[in-house]
Structure 1
Amino acid sequence: MTDPITFDDFYRSAALDFTPHPGEILRRRAVATPDLHGANRAWQLVYATRTGRRAPIPASGIVITPDIAEPAGPSPILLYCPVFHGLGGRCAPSQLLAGEGTEPETGFIATALERGWTVAVPDGVGVGMTGLGPHHFLAGDAAAHAVLDLARAVRALPELDATAAPCAAWGYADGGRAAIWAAEQRPHYAPELDLRGVAAGAVVADPGALIGEIDGGPWAGLALAGLIGLSRAYPHLPMRHLLTDEGHDTIERAQELDAARLLVAYRNTALGRWCEREDPWNDPMWCYALANETSGREAPQVPVHLYHGIEDTLVPVAMGRSLFAEYRTHGVDLSWREYPTSHTGAATDGAAEAVARLADYLQRRPDGTGATPPRPQTT
């Protein structure tokens, strides 16, 4: 049976016979978001972005406007970076939010809409678009480009008066990683964007350390997803040279799965099962790629709020503390909050402060020297 989402012509990839500008809108269509409280108009977009190697590639996302009666000028843009949804299949947030399924982060997005913000959600490179997968999971540059180029696309939407709208980024786990990489990359990739600040929880700041921790355990499917995503993001390197024939077959199957099916199918399974050595992530080629994916090597030039659960068994709180310390040595405007709860608990418990921090950042002038007049908010 044909999958009505995967084979939607809107998301079908076509070879680019030109080199579009990053953020250029290639296709758009109005959609409804019936399960999203506080939403007004919405559009699915296919826009131009760049891979981590700067190759042009189409990506998809969704833009949702708030249901407010009389907006006082252009709405601020929140770039909401979703958690890992999967390597392929029916999992792109832009599709799930448009009434095609259940999007697990609707509550967080609705909170932003209630603030009067326009919310833009990138699917990520390799997700949603037919024939371009698998998702470049854990590839920081690609994630940052997808976020920043969606902001460019929103500013160009003819239905919105958003050319000069300020923006902020928010995400959790891999979404938090995308948000901070966007902040790190913005000065030289998209300097024209008025990014005011970032809130990021449980940031996957060191994928190499994380893969080593979760491999063979209940989250092992994410380790396999990382191997697949990074090998896709580094096509110029022989990243799959350690795989056995069974390993190649496993990857062919896994790269079509969403996050839930990955976690079930590969629970408590070690990567070494499909490789010629038991610790493939310690191979020199993989060490190079994973070292290149650590966060904190560049300093965001905007305020950053980090938060984490002390009892997080997926992304250890030590990883968040280390990123905070690294940013502090670079002089980044920082705040930090720890919650006495789990990975999923901190996502919920930290949301209110994250939104409040972002609201404060959006009030500031681009040079950070003061505050803009507060924009009326609906209740």
Structure 2
Amino acid sequence: MRRALAALTVALVALTTGALPAQAASPPVPSEDPFYTPPDQLSGEPGDVLRQRAVDVKVGPFPAPVKAWQLLYRSTSATGQANAVSGTLLLPPIPWTNGPRPLLTYAVGTHGIGDACAPSYKLRTGTENEVALIGQALSKGWAVVLTDYEGLGTPGTHTYATGQSEGRAMLDAARAALTVGEAGLSPDAPVGVFGYSQGGQAAAFAGELHPSYAPELKVTGVAAGGVPADLNAVAKFNDGGPAFGLVLGAATGLATAYPDVPFESILNDRGRKVVSRIQDACTIELGAAAPFARLRDFVTIPDPLADPRWQARLAENRAGDRAPSAPVFLYHGTLDELIPFKVGKALLSRYCAAGVTVQWQTFPLLEHIGGVAVGGPVAIEWLSSRFAGTAPKSSC
């Protein structure tokens, strides 16, 4: 086991050295890769694997010593329609002898809207920025499956910030992973849910939707950090802020998920230009698309979010209005400049009122990225205790 653990971490250590291996040809971007194009007819049940292939993944320029499969699987949109979502299953070389090997369904933070931002593609090109946390989970011997979310990699616009879609994509990624025969996972495997930021929204919704949408999964714990639990509050907080582009990205994603909300029809010329530009943007370009701008600068009406159609859809994507059946680890940096700390505290209050077993962890003086850099490893250890059968604590 020590050799396997060392092999798993050597790629991370190698990044500090000057030696680089010979470079293989880069895989095609998802828009040019037929694997991501779903069949014309989507049959079967949510979580069914539509297509799979073994792939190599990298940490920077170095091969990662794991088995990996890219998956195209059946899922469900925010409006209940069948869709296809891509993802990646990772299996470490570490043997697991203590019952079924645990599976972690992992949702990444904001990667952007363009197909080349998909984690399945970034893992193959060695550009995935969350490899340290993914590696921590793999080093424990867990299998890890990462969803690309709806429309990130697969055709169509990514439904960014839509918790209803993200949560289902996470749960169906776990369902799909458990059926990959070569991975040898058991249908009785304990399942953990992990995500931060956009991934925290996805994780919270996966936990909330699990009892009704995927009750057969043995979800033992949900770790969600920096959760944009109330999109109304998050939009107002970031209106006029340095990362206002994320608000436009969220509006684009929600309008894609819900065609009944007015968006393209109310954009002015400036709005159409910026929205067109961010369609292929990844994280940095998306966040910096319109620094210190306000939503009113891009639309033809005073306050589009006041429209009852917008309010109804935003309410559907407010976390905390349904109770997860599994225990929850909720964490937030007190100086988060993107997702207000009070949004996280309000989510805690809603979960406590619903009788959820939730452990709350604050990280003083940490902003958004600091929150995951420090809190992410703590959340992984919390999930490790759930897999070990240790009773969770409650902060309620």
Common fold by TM > 0.5: yes
SS in 1 for 2:117: coil
Identity in percent: 36
Instruction: Find the counterpart in structure 2 of residue 57 from structure 1.
Output: 83
* Superposition map of 1:161-172 within 5 A: 161-162=184-185, 163-172=187-196
Q: 1:15 to 1:65 in 2, by over 3 A?
A: closer
Q: 2:320 aligns with which of 272, 277, 296?
A: 296
**Separation (CA, whole Å) in 1 of partners of 2:27 and 2:120:** 16
Q: Deviations over 1:247-305 (max 9, x none)?
A: 33432332221121112222222221220124322233222221221110000001001
- Please report how far the alpha carbon of residue 346 of structure 1 lies from its aligned counterpart in structure 2 after TM superposition: 1.4
* Superposition map of 1:236-251 within 5 A: 236-251=260-275
SS in 1 for 2:183: coil
Instruction: Find the counterpart in structure 1 of residue 200 from structure 2.
Output: 176
Q: Would you say the 8 A contact 1:170–1:200 is kept in 2?
A: yes
Instruction: Find the counterpart in structure 2 of residue 373 from structure 1.
Output: none
SS in 2 for 1:267: coil
Instruction: Find the counterpart in structure 1 of residue 369 from structure 2.
Output: 344
1:79 aligns with 2:105: yes
Moved more, 283-292 or 114-123: 283-292
Q: 2:66 aligns with which of 40, 62, 66?
A: 40
Q: Would you say the 8 A contact 2:56–2:63 is kept in 1?
A: no
**Separation (CA, whole Å) in 1 of partners of 2:120 and 2:310:** 32
- Please report how far the alpha carbon of residue 213 of structure 1 lies from its aligned counterpart in structure 2 after TM superposition: 1.1
Q: 1:206 aligns with which of 212, 224, 230?
A: 230
- Please report how far the alpha carbon of residue 342 of structure 1 lies from its aligned counterpart in structure 2 after TM superposition: 1.4
**Separation (CA, whole Å) in 1 of partners of 2:78 and 2:107:** 17
* Superposition map of 1:12-31 within 5 A: 12-31=36-55
Instruction: Find the counterpart in structure 1 of residue 120 from structure 2.
Output: 94
Q: Would you say the 8 A contact 1:147–1:182 is kept in 2?
A: yes
SS in 1 for 2:85: strand
Q: 1:138 to 1:301 in 2, by over 3 A?
A: same
Instruction: Find the counterpart in structure 2 of residue 271 from structure 1.
Output: 295
1:155 aligns with 2:188: no
Instruction: Find the counterpart in structure 2 of residue 115 from structure 1.
Output: 140
Instruction: Find the counterpart in structure 1 of residue 240 from structure 2.
Output: 216
Q: Would you say the 8 A contact 2:133–2:377 is kept in 1?
A: no
Q: 1:212 to 1:309 in 2, by over 3 A?
A: same
Instruction: Find the counterpart in structure 2 of residue 311 from structure 1.
Output: 335
**Separation (CA, whole Å) in 1 of partners of 2:262 and 2:335:** 37
Moved more, 62-71 or 340-349: 62-71
Q: Would you say the 8 A contact 2:119–2:148 is kept in 1?
A: yes
- Please report how far the alpha carbon of residue 14 of structure 1 lies from its aligned counterpart in structure 2 after TM superposition: 3.9
SS in 2 for 1:252: helix
Instruction: Find the counterpart in structure 2 of residue 146 from structure 1.
Output: 169
Which residue identity lines up with residue 51 of structure 1 in the other structure? S
TM-score by length of 2: 0.87
Q: 1:68 to 1:14 in 2, by over 3 A?
A: closer
1:281 aligns with 2:297: no
1:329 aligns with 2:353: yes
**Separation (CA, whole Å) in 1 of partners of 2:314 and 2:305:** 8
Q: 1:364 to 1:239 in 2, by over 3 A?
A: farther
- Please report how far the alpha carbon of residue 40 of structure 1 lies from its aligned counterpart in structure 2 after TM superposition: 1.7
TM-score by length of 1: 0.90
Q: Would you say the 8 A contact 2:70–2:86 is kept in 1?
A: yes
Instruction: Find the counterpart in structure 1 of residue 381 from structure 2.
Output: 356
Q: Deviations over 1:202-231 (max 9, x none)?
A: 111001110111122111010000110000
Q: 1:169 to 1:70 in 2, by over 3 A?
A: closer
Q: 1:236 to 1:138 in 2, by over 3 A?
A: same
Output the aligned Cα RMSD. Answer: 2.1
**Separation (CA, whole Å) in 2 of partners of 1:185 and 1:37:** 36
**Gaps (5+ residues) in structure 2?**
1-25
Instruction: Find the counterpart in structure 2 of residue 229 from structure 1.
Output: 253
Q: Would you say the 8 A contact 2:194–2:203 is kept in 1?
A: yes
SS in 1 for 2:288: helix
Instruction: Find the counterpart in structure 1 of residue 160 from structure 2.
Output: 137
Q: Would you say the 8 A contact 1:272–1:279 is kept in 2?
A: yes
Runs of 4+ in structure 1 off by over 3 angstroms are 36-39, 69-74, 236-241
- Please report how far the alpha carbon of residue 12 of structure 1 lies from its aligned counterpart in structure 2 after TM superposition: 3.6
Q: 1:156 to 1:69 in 2, by over 3 A?
A: closer
Q: 1:240 to 1:288 in 2, by over 3 A?
A: farther
SS in 2 for 1:119: strand
Which residue identity lines up with residue 150 of structure 1 in the other structure? A
Q: 1:249 to 1:34 in 2, by over 3 A?
A: closer
**Separation (CA, whole Å) in 2 of partners of 1:167 and 1:364:** 12
Q: Would you say the 8 A contact 2:244–2:289 is kept in 1?
A: no
Q: Would you say the 8 A contact 1:38–1:66 is kept in 2?
A: no
Q: Would you say the 8 A contact 2:118–2:152 is kept in 1?
A: yes
- Please report how far the alpha carbon of residue 343 of structure 1 lies from its aligned counterpart in structure 2 after TM superposition: 1.2
Which residue identity lines up with residue 128 of structure 1 in the other structure? G
Q: Deviations over 1:116-155 (max 9, x none)?
A: 10011101011011x22x2111111100110000111011
